Structure 1
Amino acid sequence: YNFVSLSNVDLLGNFKSYHEIYFRNLHSYRKNKRADYISYKMDKVVNYCINKKKGLIVEDLSFEQEFSYGKKRNRKLSNFKTSALDLLERKCLKRGVAIRKVHPAYTSLIGKYKYSRLYNLSTHVLASYVIARKGLKFKEEIPARYKWLLAQVGDVIKPRLKPSSSYRNWAKLHDFFKHSGITSFKTSEVLQKALQMKHVLNSVTSEQPDNLRAGLSSTGKVDNWNKFWNFIENTNIL
């Protein structure tokens, strides 16, 4: 990515504002000039914190992360983020800005599916908001509508985290989307996929599925769009 997203929050974890700092044509610079340019941009991050009279909370990149690019580009991106954050940490310490690192797990997922309806901001800004809340020790409980969603698929998705993990349900939700082939994350696609999987599960347990009430056929495809959208509206699913 060619920018840094910063979220300003209060002590109660409420979102106040955001700011984005862009790295324009970063890879067009030669090595030495690129280093100076990154340093200049990191100064902007520190200045933002000083102006807001706030500390800085960032990702702890010691945890392994996956990026959706090729191996070579993934490595370059990871190395860039690590070097930039190391530089940022040194600048914060030099100028008296408190800095704290947090585990980056599921920050984008939590931001997208817990706060997007509330704030209508980009995924990157919402992820930075979740990082800020993590740094203030707030726990991100999965909303009731997603607990319902996971309940519809029963044991189709096997949990891969321990029951004591605060990320257990978020990991299950992530795996559900991946398992279902959901890529657009539109309300209609998520609900339709959930009910399709529920139909498969119920065909094994001999329970009556909700497909008819939701305007879906016995195979989970939309038969009646009016029923389908009414079902979405009445259940307030996403």
Structure 2
Amino acid sequence: MQATYRARIDERVHYPYFDAMVEYFGRLERKLFVGHYVRGAPVTELKKRYIKEYRITARQFNSLNNSLSGKIESIREIQEYQERDLLGRIASTEKAIKEKEEKRDKIIKSLKKLQPRTEKWQEKIDRLKGIKFIIHQKKRRLRNLRQRLENLSKDMARGIVRICFGTRKLFKAQHNLAANGFKDHAEWVTAWRKARSSSFFILGSKDETCGNQTCTYFRDNTLRIRVAGKFTKEFGRYIELTGIVFPYGQEHLDRARTVRRIVKGRKECTAAISYRFLRRGDSWYVHATTEVEASPLRTSRWNGAVGIDLNDDFLRVSDIDRFGNPLNEFEIPVPMRDRSKNQVKAALGEAVKKAVLYAKERGKPIAIENLDFAKKKQALRESGTKHARMLSGLTYRQFRMMVESCILREGVELLKPDGKNVDPFATSVIGQLKFMVRYGLSSHGSAACVIARRGLGFKLEKATKSSVLKLPERKRTSRRNYWLRVSNRLKKTHFSDRVALLYADRF
């Protein structure tokens, strides 16, 4: 697993070099993009020319190329995601138009049976106008979506990657300076140049001294940076930063830069450490990225398991023994509404850490669901306000990445039946009907209990009998098919009140 750690550079005497270097490397990166990705020149030819013409080392060119190729690959992944997303949005919009047209036709048909100019007739006319307006707007949206998909498909077919160094948002800000907080165009130009040149990357290698020969982190916490040939007269051959200590992850970096084995009797081998120097405001930071070894496992399935259920604004954690019986449940708040992405990310990270440490203390592995909200989020415009707000706030991918990162650090096992996270099929319905009332659990706590049981490998629970909810008749069919019928029935009949009814049935 790769991990990145950050430290601030307090020696401001070296800031002029960083400012010059980031502007120089930013310009070379844009030139490389035009030369290789726009004009199609081979990287090998460009490398020879850049080393000679721009006076950089081969490792510095490799760092430049690696940083740029990472951006290009991420954009190509985004293109694939956008294509799937647009197809889903088009399908949901077409479905919504079809439903509205059916309503329109029903109203037109009912109008023929009513007397004109009556109160009921006028009410139907108003509804008809509203539906026609909605259909018109959705057809406009559908046309725009199809046009975006056509343009994207052409770019993907031709291998075109569109990238704006400095972000498109800031580029467009020049057309409305006052609204974006700029006094004049000169102030915008300064901000634009800083955004286009805000960081530079130095690639590491495991067969180099301390994992990186261009930027070497010695045991005395001195960071030595090799200066590009263009700036050696002004800044010397090397820049040395003393007392560089990383507040988090220092022990991992110490282990990474320690010699692990000797190759061919002489050559030392460590872990590769790559560095990115980043400007934030008026300060410079160094980000160190390296491979981190997973901690030894401190959990066992014989102790049971801990299930985590992700919800809007909170995590629900359920603890079970090795026989699948619930022992405990609790809630960890995660405020998501009216907050920035960074605030949500910080709150979610703290909540995940609490859940993982709870599992670690009890020596139990963790189970989470294999959820994917991509298709549901494609139809947000066609959903109700409450449902859309809930879906937009759920960041399952980020949640999963945080769990996987935290368990590696803490030595907690993540249960993956069949090599994947837990199947989310009917966890809420099964938990409510089988465990909620019987063990006095909450609605989400019972779902987390089912997640933990499924992580331990328990089979799908048997069908249940209910004296208060009318469930489908149990026929000779598989348990999965029956629970699917139960879920569909409850969505239609008791979507919002089934929890209250199940609790009321106890008394």
TM-score strictly above 0.5: yes
AA of the residue aligned to 1:18: E
Question: Is contact 2:367–2:455 with CA below 8 Å preserved after alignment?
Answer: yes
1:85 CA displacement = 2.0
Q: Secondary structure at the residue paired with 2:458? A: coil
Whether 1:121 and 2:441 are equivalent positions in the alignment is: yes
Structure showing greater radius of gyration is 2
Q: TM-score, normalised by structure 2?
A: 0.32
SS of structure 2 residue aligned to 1:102: coil
Q: Does 1:169 align with 2:485?
A: no
Q: Distance in 1 between matches of 2:402 and 2:454?
A: 22
Name the CA shift for 1:63/1:105 in 2 (closer, same or farther; >3 Å): farther
User: For 1:90, which of 397, 401, 405 is the aligned residue?
Assistant: 405
Does residue 1:6 correspond to 2:317, yes or no? yes
Give the counterpart of 1:45 among 348, 355, 358.
355
- Aligned counterpart, 2:473: 151
Q: Is the CA contact (8 Å cut-off) linking 1:63 and 1:103 kept in structure 2?
A: no
Other-structure match for 2:341:
31
- Report the Cα offset of residue 74 of structure 1: 5.3
**Aligned with 2:330 (options 15, 19, 22):** 19
SS at 2:368's partner residue? strand
The C-alpha deviation readout for 1:83-136, integer Å capped at 9, x for no partner, is 122211111123211012201111111111112221222111010011111111
**Shift in Å, 1:174:** 1.8
Which residue identity lines up with residue 151 of structure 1 in the other structure? E
Superposition deviation, residue 64 in structure 1: 7.0
1:65 & 1:8 partners in 2: Cα distance? Answer: 31
Query: 1:21–1:41: 8 Å Cα contact kept in structure 2?
Result: yes
Q: Is the 8 A contact 1:8 1:17 kept in 2?
A: yes
Q: Which secondary structure state, in structure 2, belongs to the residue aligned with residue 60 of structure 1?
A: coil
CA contact (8 A) 2:431 2:447 kept: yes
Structure 1 window deviating more from structure 2 (55-64 vs 128-137): it is: 55-64
Q: Which residue of 1 aligns with 2:430?
A: 110
The structure-2 alpha-carbon separation of the partners of 1:51 and 1:150, relative to structure 1 and needing over 3 Å to count, comes to same
Distance 2:375 2:327 in 1: 28
* Partner SS state of residue 132, structure 1: helix
- 1-side partners of 2:439 and 2:429: how far apart? 15
Secondary structure in 2 matching 1:97: coil
**Mapped pair 1:138 → 2:458:** yes
CA contact (8 A) 2:359 2:366 kept: yes
Q: 1:143 to 1:72 in 2, by over 3 A?
A: closer
- Write out aligned runs for 1:206-225 (5 A): none
Q: Deviations over 1:51-88 (max 9, x none)?
A: 1111100011248786985475355234x122122211
- Kept in 2: contact 1:111–1:126 (CA 8 A): yes
Judging changes above 3 Å, is the alpha-carbon distance between structure 1 residues 175 and 72 closer, same or farther for their aligned structure 2 residues?
A: closer
**What is the DSSP-based 3-state SS (H/G/I as helix, E as strand, rest coil) of the residue aligned with 1:131?**
helix
Between the aligned partners of 2:480 and 2:374, the Cα distance in structure 1 is 16
Aligned-pair CA distance for 1:9: 0.5
Distance 2:449 2:439 in 1: 11
Corresponding residue number in structure 2 for 1:55: 365
What letter corresponds to residue 19 of structure 1 in structure 2?
A: F
Question: Alignment length, in residue pairs?
Answer: 180
**Contact 2:365–2:414 (Cα < 8 Å) also in 1:** yes
Alignment TM-score, normalising by the size of structure 1: 0.63
The answer on whether the counterparts of 1:4 and 1:21 sit within 8 Å (CA) in structure 2 is yes
Partner SS for 2:431: helix
Using the alignment, how far apart are the partners of 1:74 and 1:92 within structure 2?
Answer: 27
Task: Write the letter of the residue equivalent to 1:110.
Answer: I
Is the 8 Å Cα contact of residues 334 and 344 (structure 2) preserved in structure 1?
A: no
What's the RMSD between the two structures over aligned residues? 3.4
- Structure 2 distance, partners of 1:187, 1:170, is 19
In terms of fraction of residues, the more strand-rich structure is: 2
1:99 aligned onto 2:420: no
- Distance (Å, rounded) in 1 between the aligned partners of 2:439 and 2:494: 26
The one-letter code matched in structure 2 to 1:73 is R
8 Å CA contact 2:373, 2:391 repeated in 1 = no
Report the equivalent of 1:178: 491
Q: Write the letter of the residue equivalent to 1:23.
A: V
- Opposite residue 76 of structure 1, the aligned amino acid is S
Q: Matched residues in 2 for 1:182 and 1:47: separation?
A: 35
Gaps of 5+ in 1: 155-161, 189-231
Shift of 1:177: 2.6
Q: Please say if residues 337 and 393 of structure 2, whose CA atoms lie closer than 8 Å, have aligned partners that are also in contact.
A: no
User: Structure 1 residues 69, 130: closer, same or farther in 2, change over 3 A?
Assistant: farther
Distance of aligned partners of 1:181 and 1:102 in 2 relative to their CA distance in 1, 3 Å threshold: closer
Inter-partner Cα distance in structure 2 for 1:27 and 1:83: 16
Cα distance between partner residues in 1 of 2:466 and 2:473: 10
